[in-house]
Structure 1
Amino acid sequence: MRTAVRVGILCYGVTHLLIAWLALQIAFGDAGERADQTGAFQTLTQQPLGRALLWVLVVGFAAVALWRLEQAIRGFSYEADRTRRLRKRAVSGGKAVIFALLAVLAARTASGGGSGGGGQGAAAGVLGLPGGQLIVGAVGIGIVVAGIVTIVNGVQRKFLQDMDLPIDPKARASALRTGQIGFVAKGAAIVLIGVLVVVAAVRYRPDEAAGLDVALKTLAAQPFGQFLLVAVALGLAAYGVFCFFDARYHRV
């Protein structure tokens, strides 16, 4: 199980490297690709043995989801502070949901299924409910807060708390730098997604409540957007590299 979890974290890094590559393509004029998890999985299926590798991702993501669920229920017993322990369990619960969704999306892509309606379909359904604008707006604000927390975790190096890094100074420095850059870039992308969701709620336009792909393409359309998108893409690539260290040194 530990091996499967580490493979899942490694696969998460590979997914971010693919997203970074797709984002760079958008930055340099190719807007036809989807720069998100769906686009990454579809890109993988086009490679030799791609579908077989995608099923490896499914198993890895499912293992991480189960591990995070176990952590959410009874994990982090080494934390003496009860509030911090409960907060970490809550975060693990959220990550369990994320990795379960990734496993489902990867399985659907590997089996030839579509990606579904995504955030736009969900937003359309919620906006049609009484108080739907407030609900979608609150979700958007929550996403913005999550992005800011991710940025803070990167700046303050909080991602090191659950890792046992090697003594080798070069390896430690590489894990630290890629983690800092990666968390800040990923947090910035999450904030942008949250802003788009809030704007969709304010304008009552569910088509604007999209995910990472639309967020990055929106960024590319801004003044100096190409340079900003390249910076974010490189940051996501750094996060992908950090996941390689995390797969090796995370406490599992």
Structure 2
Amino acid sequence: MAANVASGNAKQAGKRAGREVAGSRWFHWFCRAGLAARGVIYLVVGWLALQIGLGDGGGAQADKKGAMQAIAEKPGGTVLLWLVVIGFFGLATWRFAEAAFGQPVADGHKATKRLASFGRGVFYTAGFIGMLGFVLGQGGQSGNAQSKSFTAKAMAEPGGRWLVLAVGLGFVGWGIGNIVGAARRKFLQKLNTHEMSPQVAKAVKVVGVVGRASRGLVFGAVGVFLAHAAITFDPGKAKGLDATLREFAKTPAGPWLLVAVAAGVLTFGVYSFCEARWRKVEAARSAPAGAAQSR
């Protein structure tokens, strides 16, 4: 009995300590630095995709690895790469804090919200690990190669085909959710809009709608290719970010559709900096009455 009480007290103390860290000013700045780092990556990826659409890609890959390579080639690139890597670690930590304590929105304590934060934490952790490996000289595969490799390995395992299908449908659902959320301006609930002037608020709204919808379109398309690979049992049909973006140029609209999508990705990069300034990054303070039952 005493052991159970001691264990319960230790858990409560640990939770209080975690909440104090998540509520500290330095942690909030750490989260905002991560959002800025995300903005850097999307700006570079969007720029690379734009160059591809205009026929001047020069063989560059419009994905995370291509963005890292482009940054590394610039003066002071190594320092910026380390800042981006640290920033992505901040993104992952922030999302895990939301999973533990809830999002700072009206229904942030709901299990679905916390699970979504946990999933994003895993996503950003994977990004952090890949970027860290690149900076440490381990290179790594392009997004296209990673997608095909993951699909092939997963399909080789019992039930792996269904896992790939689930991941693909998850990306599709996430993409659709981003597009719908952008159209309904739901992202504004996560911003401190009261700190903006009316003119700035209008600009952020436009940038958010265009950027988030474009991001949803791109990652929804990534999910479609993953699902197609699972359905046809052909890992070669899976595509990473770069290959997915290039597919837009193969539509009847031609390269100009890729140019438009690239402009949308660039816009999301700009929106990420808006989030770095105005996003609500603090963890939810306390669970509302009855929240324990709803979890």
TM-score (norm 1): 0.93
Deviation at 1:125, TM superposition (A): 0.9
Deviation at 1:44, TM superposition (A): 0.5
Structure 1: state its 5+ residue gaps.
Answer: none
Closer, same or farther: CA 153–235 of 1 in aligned 2, 3 Å: same
Out of 41, 47, 66, the position equivalent to 2:93 is 66
Residue deviations 1:71-123, cap 9 Å, x none?
Answer: 101123663x48x6322212211111122122112212212222235121110
Distance 2:147 2:105 in 1: 37
Q: Give the conservation status (yes or no) of the 8 Å contact 1:200–1:206.
A: yes
Supply the AA of the counterpart residue of 1:72. Answer: A
Q: Give the conservation status (yes or no) of the 8 Å contact 1:126–1:136.
A: yes
1:219 aligns with 2:267: no
1:145 aligns with 2:173: yes
Structure-to-structure mapping, 1:149-164, within 5 angstroms: 149-164=177-192
Q: Which residue of 2 aligns with 1:96?
A: 121
Deviates more, 1:19-28 or 1:123-132: 123-132
The 3-state SS of whatever aligns with 1:119 is helix
Structure-to-structure mapping, 1:209-248, within 5 angstroms: 209-248=238-277
Q: Which residue of 2 aligns with 1:251?
A: 280
Q: Give the conservation status (yes or no) of the 8 Å contact 1:77–1:85.
A: no
1:22 aligns with 2:48: yes
Residue deviations 1:9-38, cap 9 Å, x none?
Answer: 011011111011010111122361111111
Q: Which residue of 2 aligns with 1:172?
A: 201
Residue deviations 1:166-193, cap 9 Å, x none?
Answer: 2411111111110000111111101111
Q: Give the conservation status (yes or no) of the 8 Å contact 1:72–1:89.
A: yes
Closer, same or farther: CA 46–85 of 1 in aligned 2, 3 Å: same
Supply the AA of the counterpart residue of 1:22. Answer: L
Distance 2:103 2:34 in 1: 20
1:36 aligns with 2:99: no
Distance 2:78 2:174 in 1: 32
1:7 aligns with 2:36: no
Supply the AA of the counterpart residue of 2:103. Answer: F
TM-score (norm 2): 0.80
Supply the AA of the counterpart residue of 1:145. Answer: G
| C-alpha RMSD over aligned residues | 1.7
The 3-state SS of whatever aligns with 1:202 is helix
| Number of positions where the alignment pairs a residue of Structure 1 with one of Structure 2 | 250
Deviation at 1:225, TM superposition (A): 2.8
Residue deviations 1:38-81, cap 9 Å, x none?
Answer: 111111011111011110111111112111101101123663x4
Structure 2: state its 5+ residue gaps.
Answer: 1-26, 282-295
Distance 2:104 2:91 in 1: 19
Larger radius of gyration, structure 1 or 2? 2
Distance 1:205 1:59 in 2: 36
Out of 125, 128, 132, the position equivalent to 1:107 is 132
Closer, same or farther: CA 78–201 of 1 in aligned 2, 3 Å: closer
Supply the AA of the counterpart residue of 1:51. Answer: T
Closer, same or farther: CA 31–210 of 1 in aligned 2, 3 Å: farther
Closer, same or farther: CA 138–76 of 1 in aligned 2, 3 Å: closer
